[in-house]
Structure 1
Amino acid sequence: MYASTQVQPRVWIGCLACYNGGDLVGDWYDGDMAGLVTPADLHGRTTSHEELWVMDHDGFSGALDGECSPDHAAEVAEALAELTDDESSAFAAWFQLYAERDEPDGWVEQFREDYRGFHDSEADFAREWFEETSSEEERARLNQWPFYDIDWERAAQELFTGGFTSEETLGGIHVFYAA
């Protein structure tokens, strides 16, 4: 069962032998079931055709960016089903940058470990990161000169050349730390 309110990932799986022969034979399936589809399912009968391919998809929040194998689509759909709605767009950005396509079992855990949240800008992230990781005494100094004049854009440049990365999206950035 797909617990999220986002769209159930679906894939259009086609027969490659038919496609290469000039025919378009395929159908839409739930993404998490894509790896179970057989050539006989597509043709409605036993066939000598062996290779299937995902030629279109919907509801993957940007985690798939083109054609792929049915098994890969099923793995991504299963990972998306574990995420909240708020996590899904960040996961898509992370997936394009970092996901090891050969190790789907750890995708969600690794994403959650790497993800540092949604922020207005890299400078805003730098300030928030400082506030979250500094002592109460250090934070109190922010209200005293020269600390209230910190160039957070410059501070962000240092952070984002030291392991943090950002992916721009509507209204801000997703921040990741992938050591």
Structure 2
Amino acid sequence: MPALSNTIRPTVWIGCLACYNAGRLVGEWYDADTADLVTPEDLHGRPTQHEELWVMDHEDFCGALEGECSPSEAAEIAEALSELTHDEAAAFSVWVREWGESDDRSGWVDRFRSEYRGFHQSEGHFAQDWAEDTCESEDKARMTTWPFNAIDWDYAAAELFSGGFQSEEVSGGIHVFCPR
């Protein structure tokens, strides 16, 4: 299992369900990427007859985890998140909130990466960047001359964003997505 990047370190509070059901709160915080390796003996610090552990709280999952879950599910999500950079994590949180499907998280990171088009100052700036990135190499040199320098990029953006692109405004700009 890959080590989590130094920018995204989800943690989980794993508790013993037998203790919880008996009215005692026994648990500990762990790095989420190793949650599936925690045993009841680790949690209690000694051999025990208790068998079931549960993630009762969590932090830094970028919206990919809501509520409680099993330690193995938390580890699986943390492993997927370890592939994201810090900048991607902010956009991923937006993507999860808008387009994430809570019933199937297995391909979220790959799907996010295929749909994410980056952080931009505005929809107009995105339209201009997209035009420059997708034009033929011989046209790129002409992008600074007429008619390219006379294009109303905000109008062009309105066309693009009516055809599938979507933006989510955040502090300082927008995240752009092209969801399926």
Provide TM-score, normalisation by structure 1: 0.75
SS for the counterpart of 1:116 is: strand
Query: Using the alignment, how far apart are the partners of 2:67 and 2:14 within structure 1?
Result: 13
1:47 corresponding residue in structure 2: 49
Gaps of 5+ in 1: none
- Counterpart amino acid of residue 150 in structure 2: Y
1:34 corresponding residue in structure 2: 35
Assess, with a 3 A threshold, how the Cα gap between structure 1 residues 62 and 47 changes in structure 2: closer, same or farther.
same
Query: Using the alignment, how far apart are the partners of 1:42 and 1:84 within structure 2?
Result: 31
- Do the aligned partners of 2:13 and 2:27 also contact (CA within 8 Å) in 1? yes
- Counterpart amino acid of residue 112 in structure 2: F
Listed as ranges, the matches of 1:107-146 within 5 Å are: 107-135=108-136, 136-137=138-139, 140=142, 143-144=145-146
Query: Using the alignment, how far apart are the partners of 2:61 and 2:25 within structure 1?
Result: 23
Q: CA deviation at 1:14?
A: 2.0
Query: Using the alignment, how far apart are the partners of 1:67 and 1:154 within structure 2?
Result: 45
Moved more, 94-103 or 81-90: 94-103
Q: CA deviation at 1:119?
A: 0.7
- Counterpart amino acid of residue 168 in structure 1: E
Assess, with a 3 A threshold, how the Cα gap between structure 1 residues 156 and 66 changes in structure 2: closer, same or farther.
farther
1:76 corresponding residue in structure 2: 77
Deviation by residue 1:127-159 (Cα, 9 ceiling, x = unmatched): 211222234548837743696251x33433332
**RMSD of the TM alignment (CA)?**
3.1
Assess, with a 3 A threshold, how the Cα gap between structure 1 residues 164 and 144 changes in structure 2: closer, same or farther.
same
Gaps of 5+ in 2: none
SS for the counterpart of 2:84 is: coil
- Do the aligned partners of 2:20 and 2:26 also contact (CA within 8 Å) in 1? yes
Q: CA deviation at 1:118?
A: 1.0
SS for the counterpart of 2:48 is: coil
- Do the aligned partners of 2:54 and 2:71 also contact (CA within 8 Å) in 1? yes
Query: Using the alignment, how far apart are the partners of 1:7 and 1:22 within structure 2?
Result: 33
Deviation by residue 1:94-141 (Cα, 9 ceiling, x = unmatched): 33444455352x433332222211111222212211222234548837
Assess, with a 3 A threshold, how the Cα gap between structure 1 residues 21 and 123 changes in structure 2: closer, same or farther.
farther
Question: Aligned pairs, how many?
Answer: 176
1:92 corresponding residue in structure 2: 93
1:57 corresponding residue in structure 2: 58
- Do the aligned partners of 1:35 and 1:70 also contact (CA within 8 Å) in 2? yes
What is the percent sequence identity of the aligned residues? 56
- Counterpart amino acid of residue 78 in structure 2: A
- Do the aligned partners of 1:6 and 1:59 also contact (CA within 8 Å) in 2? no
Query: Using the alignment, how far apart are the partners of 1:154 and 1:27 within structure 2?
Result: 54
1:67 corresponding residue in structure 2: 68
Deviation by residue 1:26-79 (Cα, 9 ceiling, x = unmatched): 1111101112334443334323453x3322223334443443332222112111
